[in-house]
Structure 1
Amino acid sequence: MYQLFFSPGACSLASHITLREAGLPFELKRLKFAEGQQRSPDYLKVNPKGRVPALVTPEGTITETPAILFYIAQIAPDKKLAPLDNPFELARLQAFNSFIASTVHVAHAHGPRGSRWANEPTSLEDMRRKVPETMRDGFRLIEQDLTGDFVMGDRFSIADPYLFTMSSWLKGDAVEIAEFPRVKAHFERMQARDAVREALAAEAAG
């Protein structure tokens, strides 16, 4: 049995969806960010970074979304969630997820998490104003790369829940998803998947 520490609306949704796609047994452990539970002594023993997701496995705890997604793909190879037998295609997938983690997620975080990088109120406000521009920049590149139903073309992979999660943040970042027709189609396609509906319902249940 695996344990996934998550917070509703956070990037942990990608790992949650992927666990369901893989058909793995897991327990959800909710953290209430508004109450600072991610910084509680008990959780810091699980993940000293004080962030989500954290996946507790029989071997130990894994943090960081790209690592968790890749781990799930490897322990459920029959689900074909990553092209594990094709080094080039696997590198392409990892490049996409790395871009999401290092560029798109960071661009978003400059709004609600600007205090990680600056202290002055004017600096924080400038960072918030910049978010729509930088999110658009990232999603323009994603839009260009989407040439099929899924990130990897016609094959669903661990990249798709990650993109779905980032796409769900666009409206809150003052960006209309309709500006990116391929991204919008991908988002709607993902919404129809059982694993996505189940994950969203579980996180909304409280």
Structure 2
Amino acid sequence: MLKFYYSKGSSALAAHILLLEVAADFAAIEVPIGQGSHQQADFLARNPKGRIPVLETPDGVITENPAILEYIAATHPASATLPNGIFAQSEARSLCAYLCATVHVAFAHLKRAPRWADTIAAQDDMRQVAPRNLAACAAYLDQCLRLGPWAMGSSYTYCDPYLFLIGHWLAAADVSLAPYERLVAHRDAMLARPATQAAMAAHDLD
């Protein structure tokens, strides 16, 4: 059995959706970030980075959303959530890297500004710029992804739960998703899936 460590409302929602989507055998263990549980010794023993999500597998611990999502897809081939072929798999990794290293970091500047700056003025500047950067990311994704209707085209892949998070990041920054029609269609398609609904309920999200 897999052990999945998550915090409600965090980016762990993506992996939670995929675990349910592929019907994985897993136990979900809540690690509330708001209570500082991710900085406790028992959790740091699993992930010294003190970050969520974490997936404990029979072979060891995996951290970081892109790696966790690809592992889930690769170990559940019947779900067909791993793109077929080296080029398609590389495209999927590229998208997840962008979501992780660019979009998520833009969102973190809004919510975690003290990671990067000590002065209140610098932190406030980051928070003010974050919505603009997130909107630029959304525009890029809306214009450049295949989104037909899924992130990689006509087939649902492990990228889709991760892309789904962009709506939550934009909402937290008071940026409307409405101008990005293709992202709206993707969000609606995701919301129609039982796995998405179940994961959102587990995270106390509407």
Give distance in 2, aligned partners of 1:101 and 1:61.
19
Q: How does 1:3-152 map to 2 (within 5 A)?
A: 3-83=3-83, 85-147=84-146, 148-152=148-152
CA distance in 1, matches of 2:178, 2:53: 29
Residues 9 and 204 in structure 2, CA contact (< 8 A), matched pair in contact too: no
Q: The residue matched to 1:4 in structure 2 has which SS? A: strand
Structure 1 segments of 4 or more deviating over 6 A?
A: none
How far has the Cα of 1:21 moved from its partner? 1.0
Note the C-alpha offset of 1:78: 1.4
Structure 2 distance, partners of 1:145, 1:171, is 21
The residue identity in structure 2 corresponding to 1:125 is D
Q: Distance in 1 between matches of 2:140 and 2:82?
A: 21
TM-score when scaled to structure 2?
0.96
Cα RMSD, aligned residues only? 1.1
Judge conservation of contact 1:150–1:156 (CA < 8 Å) in 2: yes
Does residue 187 of structure 2 align to residue 193 of structure 1? Answer: no
Distance in structure 1 (CA, Å) of the matches to 2:85 and 2:6? 31
Secondary structure of 2:4's aligned partner: strand
| 8 Å CA contact retained: 1:170, 1:177 | yes
Using the size of structure 1 for normalisation, the TM-score is: 0.96
- Give the AA of the match of 2:93: Q
Distance (Å, rounded) in 1 between the aligned partners of 2:11 and 2:34: 16
Q: Any gaps of 5 or more consecutive residues in structure 2?
A: none
Q: Cα offset for 1:37? A: 0.5
Q: Which blocks of at least 5 consecutive residues in structure 1 are unaligned?
A: none
- Once the two structures are TM-superposed, the CA of residue 203 in structure 1 deviates from its matched residue by 2.3
User: Counterpart of 1:62 in 2: which secondary structure?
Assistant: strand
2:4 and 2:105 map into 1 onto residues whose CA distance is 22
1:168 match: 168
